[in-house]
A and B are shown apart, each in its own frame.
Chain A
Amino acid sequence: MSGHATAPGAETHQPVFTGKALERLEGLFPKYPNKQACLLPALWIIQEERGWISPQAMAEVGERLGLTPAYVKGVVTFYTMYHQHPVGRHFIQVCTTSPCHLCGAADTVKALLEHTGCGELGATSPDGRFTVAEVECLGACGFVTPILIDDDFIDSVTPDQVPGLLARYQ
């Protein structure tokens, strides 16, 4: 960060890597021959702790691992699962790639958008409860439609199952 002005919001940034999160980060070090290789798992820790990865958190992890904020941002932006903005309390990913599309994924998407109140893909529901995102192949093409709600992988979801499923995520 040397030579740079403090990032906006930095003064209000509560460090992620304290206590247990710091222990988890340090637990990564023996698994890799250098600290840079700990970046992806470290970013997962941030996302688990905060729900998304803010520019301040990128700078913080960079400092821990000896990487510049720009480098960290370059990595974060490459991978679609890292959130660069806050999302709903529950993040829903639904597959619509060809094998799923062939078997009715579009109807499941419609049901998800309707019952979450998100209205459109990528949007967060007005109550902040859900965000629904369309994703590419989830690797469960024989079990249409596969969806991920937070870290729960659920396959063979039909439109009529959607309301009951969502009720489990308040």
Chain B
Amino acid sequence: MGYPHPSHPKETVVLSQYFGDAGARSFDGWVQRGGYQALKKALAMTPDQVTEEVKASGLRGRGGAGFPTGLKWSFMPKHSGKPHYLCCNADESEPGTFKDREIMRWTPHQLIEGCAIAAYAIGAERCYIYIRGEFTEATRIMQAALDEAYAKGALGDNVFGSGTRIEMVIHRGAGAYICGEETALMNSIEGKRGNPRIKPPFPAAAGLFGMPTTINNVETLASVVHILNRGAAWYKGLCLSNPKSTGTKLFSVCGQVARPGNYELTMGFPMKDLIYELAGLRPGRKLKAVIPGGSSVPIMTPEEAESALCDYEGIQEKGSMLGSAGFIVLDDSADLVYEIYRLARFYAHESCAQCTNCREGTAWTVKILERLLKGEGKPADLDLLMDLGENMTGKTICVLSDSCAAPVMSGIRKFRADFEHYLAGAKSPALVA
């Protein structure tokens, strides 16, 4: 549902059914709502059968990359003799994205159940749930739910009497966007600086503590519960467009809209309806631009947004990416150049600084945009930003650098007049008092 708003008839409510329902937070409340049936069902299957079911559902990673979840699980070695780990990525920090927070705040047991199923499927006896340090409320709720799950036998040495051991530990982050990158996340759990690692080796071969590891996003793991409950065929049938994108997805919509919130939609839903009908623009305003995947993706023009379908392929066809589906909507009152500058500042602040192109590239992007906004830009600055952006794309260990370049380069390409306005001497009131 479009929490904090009532559910819209065009939504397909699965993951978000109990958002706003505090009764769903307790173990008993979750069980009364059908909870932990999926885990019991999974424990009666073989781990491979669980993986096959998830594979057949078509579920893809909801954190941003869209990698097929069942396939990822199948990369884990069998009978390796080593400890296996599951990491739940709850480091939700992508500007525009605020869906995992609601899953954890309202339905902590939905996530715990999903983690337990995944842990069983990949042969992991321990799962670390990495929650960003700022999510104090979500962490408190998750910890209370975890303690209750242990007390009720849903976790521990002998999960629901099945003989399977699944332990879960909440690991609190401490303020670093980059720790949402899976290898940085593992370093952070290991007590290290959150620098991303060079791949290969991939986590399934040598991940957390050097052991076979799978990292999944909160929403991905929560989706697994419903796939087990209702079957892969049902999930696969939730598809309005491309059969490669199935199921429901939480779309966080924020920025200059009338009803910001999380809308749960079937994959392939028209973006036009999401923006104009569900979230809605404010009265008298026109759409200026949409950044659909969290801030790390190319900006879309109104024409692109109005014709796009909300799934992995649909948004890519229109020149951007679904990413984590955090929609930042800008109307005609927004200063697009300033907002891009503000995003660049975010990336410069969050760069781990181990790769030169990122450390220098993000910092110089900020400096150049700042002088532009102060009316001190040089004629060659737009070309310089494009050149910088090219050298920040595909050149570094992780994609933080690419993520900074994407809104800047697409902004200059698609909204050049906005930048030229500043080149002609205009000054941003936000930067020039």
Residues of chain A at the chain B interface (Cβ within 8 Å): 31-34, 36-41, 43-44, 65, 67, 74-75, 78-82, 93, 96-99, 101-103, 106, 135-144, 148, 151-153
Contacts and interface: CB of A to CB of B under 8 A. Distances in A.
B96 A151 contact: no
Contacts of B349: 136
Given A44-B172, A136-B346, A81 B254 contact: no
A65 B190 CA distance: 12
Contact of A139 (B98, B189, B262): B98
Contacts of B343: 97-98
A101 B352 CA distance: 24
B191 A139 contact: no
A148 B193 contact: no
A81 B342 CA distance: 21
Given A78-B193, A79-B176, A98 B339 contact: yes
Contact of A102 (B171, B209, B253, B330): B330
Interface in B240-269: 252-256, 260-262
Nearest to A67: B191
A31 B190 CA distance: 12
Contact of B95 (A36, A74, A75, A141): A141
B273 interface: no
Contacts of A74: 193
5 closest A-B pairs by CB:
A39-B191, A81-B175, A79-B174, A142-B260, A80-B175
B317 interface: no
B333 to A, nearest CB: 9
Given A78-B193, A93-B134, A139 B174 contact: no
Contacts of B177: 136-137
Nearest to B3: A142
A40, A43, A75, A138 — most chain B CB neighbours (10 Å): A40
B96 A141 contact: yes
Interface string B85-97: 0000000111111
26 contacts: A31-B169, A36-B190, A36-B192, A40-B191, A44-B172, A74-B193, A79-B173, A79-B176, A80-B175, A97-B295, A98-B95, A98-B328, A98-B342, A99-B96, A99-B254, A101-B342, A103-B256, A106-B430, A136-B177, A137-B95, A137-B177, A139-B92, A141-B95, A142-B252, A151-B136, A153-B136
A30 to B, nearest CB: 9
Contact of A153 (B137, B209, B342): B137
A141 B252 contact: yes
A139 B135 contact: yes
Interface residues of B, number: 54
Contacts of B190: 36-37
Given A40-B188, A137-B93, A152-B136, A81 B174 contact: yes
Contacts of A148: 134, 136
A12 B194 CA distance: 32
Given A75-B193, A97-B295, A142-B253, 11 more contacts: A32-B169, A33-B83, A36-B190, A38-B191, A40-B173, A79-B173, A80-B175, A141-B255, A142-B261, A152-B136, A153-B137
Contacts of B226: none
B176 A33 contact: no
Contacts of B169: 31-32
A74, A96, A98, A153 — most chain B CB neighbours (10 Å): A98
B70 interface: no
Contacts of A152: 136-137
B84 interface: no
B174 A43 contact: yes
B60 interface: no
B326 interface: yes
Contacts of B101: 139-140
Contact of A97 (B95, B173, B334): B95
Nearest to B130: A40
Interface string B134-148: 111100000000000
Nearest to A76: B174
A102 B191 contact: no
Contact of A99 (B4, B172, B188, B328): B328
